[in-house]
Each structure stands twice: as C-alpha cells, then as structure tokens.
Structure 1
C-alpha cells in the first residue's frame, strides 16, 4: 500500500481534489470530516472540549464559532485543543489504514500535514495549490470569514511555496476542474506504476 498525504493551505481546493481521488476509487481519510464527527452531536470529544473550554458546546455538539473565539489568538489554548483532538483523529486514521490495508493506494487528507508532523507517516505527498489571489478570494467569500481571521490561519500554516517545494506532486487548482481532475489522474497513474515495481 502506498499512503499519499494530501495537503494544501486554506482555500486551495483540497476538498475538491480529495473528492476527485474518491471519485477515481481511491479510499480517502478526511481528517477535517473526522474532527466534525468527533465534535458533532454525541461526538466522543464533546465532553472533553466542554471541560477545557466551558460554554463552547451544546445539543449540537461543539459550537465551532464559540470554540474558535475561545482559542483565536491564544497559542496556549490552541495547544490545549490540539492535545484533545489530535490523538482521537490519529486513532481514527489508524482504523482507516487497517480497514484498507489490501488497497494499493490510499489518501490521507490532512490540512496541517507538514505543520503537525504527519508528513513522516506517509510515503508520498501531494500539495494542492492555487495562485494567492484565487486563494484569498475563495477564503474571504466564506461566511463569517474576516481578513484578520484569514491572516491568523495563514500565519499558522507553512507558506504555499514551501509546501510545493517539499511535495512529490503539486496539483494545481487555479484553472478548470477538468485540468485539476487530469492532474489527479496523473498522480494516481504515477503511484500505480510505482506500486507495481
């Protein structure tokens, strides 16, 4: 099995690319979706998050806006949150790998692959990238996003140029969906060839 780490900064189109891999029949582990499940109604992390950050949860699970405000601009609070979330996501990722161990290729969709050290646990890395002005427009169009919040998120992420430099594959998302899909198919073909050697 080849484990491909898929990453990219906020607004680069990583979710779209992950869906393209899934559409080509490649199993995809979506770390963000796992976090949403763990923090959703009845999620395993809700009680621990409420204990660490009072008044940030309710019947619907974690109130992401309230939690965001509790950790925004506070590195210590952010580290506390990561200490709750990261081990739980790692356990789910391990279950995914076990369930798909007979597959020739799997994708781990991990937004902070480089920042959180996950790059050490994958065989190859694909970075999703778009021009900075495209990224900015996409992110600022999101509900509730502000320039300050966008810049705070970017400050915690490795610069796109550095990610591209460290990647085995760069998947461009600044053009058409057809071009991006072709890039995804090229990556799969390259890795399918590598797996057969």
Structure 2
C-alpha cells in the first residue's frame, strides 16, 4: 500500500524546494496548488466559479485569477466557497494520480493548506517546512512581485508554524539547501525502516 506523505509549510517557506529535492530522488510528487491551477482552466470548475462569483471575475470567458484572488483573500467566507469548488476537484484528480503511482512505496502530496483543507487526514505522515517570517515575506514579494501587506494578508489566512508543526511528524527548517538534503535523507531512512517493519 502506497504511503501518502503530506508536505506543507506557510507561504514562502520553501515547500517547492523541498518537493523538488524529493522528486530528484525519484519519489513521485503531487503539487496540489499547481494541479488546482490547471483544474481551474477546466469547464466544469469554471462553470462552478462563474455560478458562485459571477461574470465579473471573467473577461471574454477567461478567468481573471488576480481579481478572484483579491476577492477571496479579503473575505474568508468567499475563500471557503472557492475552496469548496476547487478542493473536491483536486481530491478526485489526486486519487486518479495515486492509482498511476500505486507501485511506489510512498508519494509526496504538497499543498500550502494541508491542515486548513483537512487533507492531512488522508496522509500517513506529515512534513512541515519552516523558515523565518522575514525570509518568507521577502521571498514572496520577489517571487510574486507583490507588496508586504498583501503577503501578510495571505499569511494571516494560513495556520501558523506552531499549529502546523504540532500536528506534523517531521519538521524541516529551511535554512539552506544542504540542511534540507540532510533532513530529507533522515526522513527517507525513517520511512524505509517503517516500511520494512510493517
């Protein structure tokens, strides 16, 4: 039975870097946010978004992602509505993806909102990636060409590190790529021993 390893961390913590390291070691990685973005291009999801948010978030049939983001990140109820559309689609897609990787001893399921969405319940183990708050803010400002205020708003909508780490089996402190590699080796060794003994 394939074990699902949840990988999470606050915005700008370096989850993608950790996910890429796992991937480079031949472990299948499912990036939920990336897949959600693709699924938000499909007719079935777009129709549900239009029904919920109206045509103002569309321009000539194209979803205005920034406009939608602005709406949901400033209104937790609207964010819940959007998540209620996107999460079921991602869950279905992940279940299909998992079938394609059923011969792997474990896979990585990476998402920023692993706990917030309840997805952690389907994981056998959870890894939380931590990084200093100022480092995270700076990374996101540079990556998304955004403002400090907007980054802090998004951070406010996520669980904090203490909450995430208290529910996680492993914590990776993202201080350097070398530190990440060391932690990943430790985690993989633990998982392989667990697998042999199970």
Q: Give the TM-score normalised by structure 2.
A: 0.90
Paired residue for 2:16?
Answer: 15
Please, which moves more after superposition, 62-71 or 17-26? 62-71
Q: Let me know the Cα RMSD of the aligned residues.
A: 1.8
Task: Give yes or no for contact 2:45–2:86 (8 Å, CA) kept in 1.
Answer: yes
**Cα distance change of structure 1 residues 51 and 144 upon mapping to structure 2, 3 Å threshold:** farther
Q: Give the TM-score normalised by structure 1.
A: 0.90
Please, which moves more after superposition, 115-124 or 49-58? 49-58
Shift of 1:77: 1.6
1:1-197 equivalences under 5 Å are 1-40=2-41, 42=42, 44-53=44-53, 54-58=55-59, 61-175=62-176, 177-197=177-197
Within 1, Cα distance between the matches of 2:62 and 2:40? 6
Shift of 1:148: 2.4
More helix by share: 2
Q: Deviations over 1:51-81 (max 9, x none)?
A: 3222323478432111112323122221221
Shift of 1:147: 2.4
Structure 1: segments with no counterpart, 5+ residues: none
Task: Give yes or no for contact 1:46–1:61 (8 Å, CA) kept in 2.
Answer: no
Shift of 1:43: 5.4
